[in-house]
Amino acid sequence: MDIENAIKDVITAKLEEGIIEKLVAENLEKGINESLKNLLGSYGDVTKIIEKKIKEVMIVQLSGYDYSKYIVKLDHVLTEILKNTALDNKKILENFKELMIEKELPKEIKVSELFDKWCEYVAKNVDCSELEVNTDDTPTYEYVDVSYKVTEDEKRSWGSLHSATIFFECEKDEDMNLEIKISKWKDKKIWDIDFKGNTEISQLRHLDDFKLYLIQLVQNRTALNIDKWSDTTEIQPEEEPEASY
């Protein structure tokens, strides 16, 4: 059998099996599916019509609904949340307010003045649980020794930028201790405060009054004058001992 007759036989056999009808049916199905996809897809005509009708019904229905009872419930929920986290939220709001409100801040401040500010903070916040009580006329906690020292960092003779660290230390409460980085150009006498506090909203609750003050000085670009390289003093805690009888 030659090749031509073989081809004819195969074609005849396939035609008798109904291959044409089968292929037409398959492609017709594909065409219908494709058309339906186009009609019902994200940008199809039918989808647009359905979407339009849904919007018309939902907007009318929702706009005429009385939401007052849900507002009352929402207000109650928010109030309860604030009650349960009152201290944290109050601190965040207070600190945010402090950072946002414009204040009259000095263009230049002495290290001794900064030390005085820190001493005020320590007097209000020092831990008195381990302090002795003076029982003279009015019971008071013992005085606390505090000090500061400015230490210059190692520098190269050819370097143009000098840096130093101010150490504030409280003898009775290490939590009060703080170090502040400062820097200046070689030919300048005035220093820049390099303190970087975390001012993200979630971290505002962790900022104390003195750190807030430092951040405000930095934002104000307040210059620092080292009038004294170190100093020591005593402060009396503001907290009063409980009376015992």
68: Cβ contacts below 8 Å, ≥ 6 apart: none
CB-facing half-sphere around the CA of 237: CA atoms within 13 A: 24
Does residue 17 have a pLDDT over 90? no
Mean pLDDT of the chain: 80
> What is the reported pLDDT for 122?
97
> What is the reported pLDDT for 40?
67
If you average pLDDT over residues 6-14, what whole number do you get? 71
How far, in Å, CA of 9 to CA of 115, rounded? 107
How far, in Å, CA of 116 to CA of 34, rounded? 80
Sign of the CA dihedral 105, 109, 114, 117? negative
How far, in Å, CA of 77 to CA of 111, rounded? 48
Domain map of the chain by residue range? Answer: 3-63, 68-97, 102-235
Structure confidence by residue, pLDDT tens digits, 193-206: 998 866 555 556 65
> What is the reported pLDDT for 245?
43
How far, in Å, CA of 224 to CA of 222, rounded? 7
Task: Give residue 116's pLDDT band: very low, low, confident or very high (50, 70, 90).
Answer: very high
Structure confidence by residue, pLDDT tens digits, 150-178: 999 887 777 889 999 999 999 999 999 99
Highest mean pLDDT among 48-52, 184-188, 205-209, 230-234: 230-234
CB-facing half-sphere around the CA of 180: CA atoms within 13 A: 25
Does residue 234 have a pLDDT over 90? yes
> What is the reported pLDDT for 49?
76
**Number of Cβ atoms within 10 Å of the Cβ of 162:** 16
User: Percent of the chain at pLDDT above 70?
Assistant: 69
